[in-house]
């Protein structure tokens, strides 16, 4: 699947979000969708940026919950904002110099490709 096909297969709410949280108002940042799942043909939001716990989708369901969640309450409060920004950007873009589609297969969760390749 090409990058363009991957972006097009996403629900518009998720596909049209920014690739990182820099320069976003606090309320806009907290409203960002981190993960969604399709239930009976309808997309449902699973996690938003503002939540302390993100449930990641795209894995088999026969795994421990701890393998598909990020609990930011375990991160010291002084680092929480930065860690959320880092994880959101990683989920959206992957590592620098790597194709998101290549990384999806090696990650423990689904990465969501960005519509643009800018920073």
The domain locations on the chain are 3-104
**Among 112, 78, 107, 68, residue whose Cα is nearest residue 93:** 112
Contact 13, 112 (CB under 8 A): no
Q: What is the pLDDT of residues 74-97, one digit of tens each?
A: 999 999 999 999 999 888 877 666
Q: What is the pLDDT of residues 7-35, one digit of tens each?
A: 556 677 777 888 889 999 999 999 999 98
User: What is the pTM for the complete model shown?
Assistant: 0.72
**Among 21, 18, 24, residue whose Cα is nearest residue 116:** 18
How many Å apart are CA 30 and CA 25, to the nearest integer?
Answer: 9
Please tell me the predicted confidence (pLDDT) of residue 97.
Answer: 64
Radius of gyration of the chain (CA): 14
Contact 109, 68 (CB under 8 A): yes
9: enclosing H helix or E strand: none
């Amino acid at each position: 699947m090409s990058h363009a096909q991957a972006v097009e297969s996403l629900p518009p709410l998720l596909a049209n979000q920014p690739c990182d949280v820099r320069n976003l108002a606090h309320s806009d940042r907290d409203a960002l969708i981190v993960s969604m799942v399709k239930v009976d043909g309808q997309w449902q939001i699973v996690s938003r940026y503002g939540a302390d716990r993100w449930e990641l989708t795209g894995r088999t369901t026969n795994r421990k919950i701890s393998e598909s969640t990020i609990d930011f309450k375990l991160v010291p409060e002084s680092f929480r904002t930065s860690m959320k920004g880092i994880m959101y950007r990683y989920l959206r873009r992957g590592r620098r110099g790597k194709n998101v589609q290549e990384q999806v297969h090696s990650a423990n969760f689904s990465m969501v490709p960005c519509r643009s390749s800018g920073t």
